[in-house]
A and B are shown apart, each in its own frame.
Chain A
Amino acid sequence: KAGVTQTPRYLIKTRGQQVTLSCSPISGHRSVSWYQQTPGQGLQFLFEYFSETQRNKGNFPGRFSGRQFSNSRSEMNVSTLELGDSALYLCASSPFRRVDNEQFFGPGTRLTVL
């Protein structure tokens, strides 16, 4: 089975621009979660999608949004980029929504905002 794939792997943007990141979960997985990883804050939960519906949302401003398609692929969008948005954005997929679920992470998209 192919793992979680994220595109692009690297991205450079300037302040004020917007960006869209893509995540393809493992085949058959219906839950996709997004995380932001920075040296200062570590891994922080952005949101989770399951069956095309946002189920949970972390404490991030409204500039961060996402969606999930019927094939479980997910995108996240960040509008009006700020320098502090520079981070590794990780996507994780799971087959279900249980607390003992295994999350499978992709390699991440490294976003640099100049």
Chain B
Amino acid sequence: TQLLEQSPQFLSIQEGENLTVYCNSSSVFSSLQWYRQEPGEGPVLLVTVVTGGEVKKLKRLTFQFGDARKDSSLHITAAQPGDTGLYLCAGAVLPSGNQFYFGTGTSLTVIP
């Protein structure tokens, strides 16, 4: 049973298009992280959000944590081929410290 569901599971878009990836749960998280993983590598942290309603921007990437801290979204503007990868959300539940529940993943392909 997955605590965090991501949608869509697969996404193939043309360079320059915008996209949004969703991460949903019925559980409340004390923090939520987004990672990107490339083949043969471990996930790399993109952002951590901890406050309900929080919005963080990282260049062309915008991350939002839901008001109730149960969901999050990742929006990419003007996608580039370098954005290709597996995007994972991960939620932490107090008082578990570094125990993170990972989402099902969204595989993004940006076509030049």
- The residues of A with any CB-CB pair to B shorter than 8 Å are 4, 31, 33, 35, 42-45, 48, 50, 55-56, 58, 90, 92, 94, 97-108
Contact = CB atoms under 8 A, between A and B. Distances in A.
B91 to A, nearest CB: 9
B57 to A, nearest CB: 18
B31 A100 contact: yes
A99 B94 contact: yes
Interface string B91-103: 0101011111111
A48 B105 CA distance: 22
Q: How large is the interface on B (under 10, 10 to 19, 20 to 34, 35 or more residues)?
A: 20 to 34
B11 interface: no
Contacts of A97: 97-98
Interface of B: 2, 30-31, 33, 35, 40-45, 48, 50, 88, 90, 92, 94, 96-105
B96 A107 contact: no
Contacts of A55: 97-98
A42 B105 contact: yes
Contacts, number: 72
Contacts of B48: 100-102
A108 B86 CA distance: 15
A100 B97 contact: no
B42 A90 contact: yes
B42 A4 contact: yes
User: In this complex, which of A33, A99, A100, A101 has the most chain B Cβ atoms within 10 angstroms of its Cβ?
Assistant: A99
15 contacts: A33-B100, A42-B88, A45-B102, A55-B98, A56-B98, A99-B50, A99-B97, A100-B31, A101-B48, A103-B45, A105-B35, A105-B43, A105-B44, A107-B41, A107-B42
User: In this complex, which of A33, A35, A103, A105 has the most chain B Cβ atoms within 10 angstroms of its Cβ?
Assistant: A103
